[in-house]
Structure 1
Amino acid sequence: MTDAPRVELTPAAAELVRRLRDAHGPLMFHQSGGCCDGSAPMCFPAGEFRTGAADVLLQELAVAGVAEPVSFWMSKSQYELWSHTRLVVDVVEGRGSGFSLEAPEGVRFLIRSRLVGAQPSTG
């Protein structure tokens, strides 16, 4: 087992991933940690965003109703800052990046995080 944080999808994010998969085919996420929309997870058709030595594959997400796993990548520099957290991909109303597949839907993906080993909040 690696020391990579676990990545999860909320039910709302999983539903959006299923809709995007139906419309665009296999998917991937990339979290760059850049400014503005770069700090949100971006969803692309699988392979459309070129990853390389500056990126870390955190997890292959299994999503019910999606045939193949959805890869979740993060820039190494961002991973160094977030390596102690559990990442939860959620979706909220509001327009995000024009480059991410959900932008035309009027919603955007975002990351909620908590320390590894921390219990989820109940409120």
Structure 2
Amino acid sequence: MSDGLKKVQRVVATPAALDLIAEIRAEHGPLLFHQSGGCCDGSSPMCYPAGEFRIGDGDILLGEAGGAPVYIGRAQGAAWAHTQLILDVVAGRGGMFSLDNGREKRFLTRGRVFDDAEQAWLRDNL
């Protein structure tokens, strides 16, 4: 990447994820995501109606996916600071409390390590 590097996004969504976000938003209105830290539903990204999940002081905003804010716990965010999170969709059952549950498809987080230029941009701009 060049010195004219555009804003580096810490989270992005695949077309399949954007479609599922739109489907769920049509039923539930505004949404938010919280990247699970590995409790009951493993490390799945959890999708909630906006305002029905309490964001705490220990959570940070990574960005947005399909117009929905995406949060992660501060410690987990620091551990994954070198990685772009990619919100995707796969076949299966969603998290117990997540709005993708019962649709026979679920959100999944993939990762891509930032290259050196992206990591430098993040250090200089966050």
Structure 2: segments with no counterpart, 5+ residues: 1-7, 117-126
Task: Give the number of equivalent residue pairs.
Answer: 110
Larger Rg: 2
Report the TM-score when normalising by structure 2.
0.80
* TM-align CA RMSD: 1.9
The Cα shift of 1:97 comes to 1.1
Give the aligned partner of residue 60 of structure 1: 64
In 2, the alpha carbon distance for the partners of 1:112 and 1:44 equals 19
Q: Percent identity?
A: 51
**Does the Cα contact within 8 Å between 1:5 and 1:86 map onto a contact in 2?**
yes
Q: What does residue range 1-123 of structure 1 map to in structure 2 within 5 Å?
A: 6-61=10-65, 63=66, 69-117=67-115
Structure 1: 4+ residue segments shifted above 3 A: none
Structure 1: segments with no counterpart, 5+ residues: 64-68, 119-123
In 2, the alpha carbon distance for the partners of 1:24 and 1:96 equals 16
Residue-by-residue CA offset, 1:49-80 (whole Å, 9 max, x unaligned) = 1011110011133x3xxxxx210000111111
Q: Quickly say closer, same or farther: Cα 1:20–1:105, change in 2 above 3 A.
A: same
Mean Cα deviation higher: 98-107 or 28-37: 28-37
**Does the Cα contact within 8 Å between 2:87 and 2:110 map onto a contact in 1?**
yes
**Does the Cα contact within 8 Å between 1:31 and 1:38 map onto a contact in 2?**
no
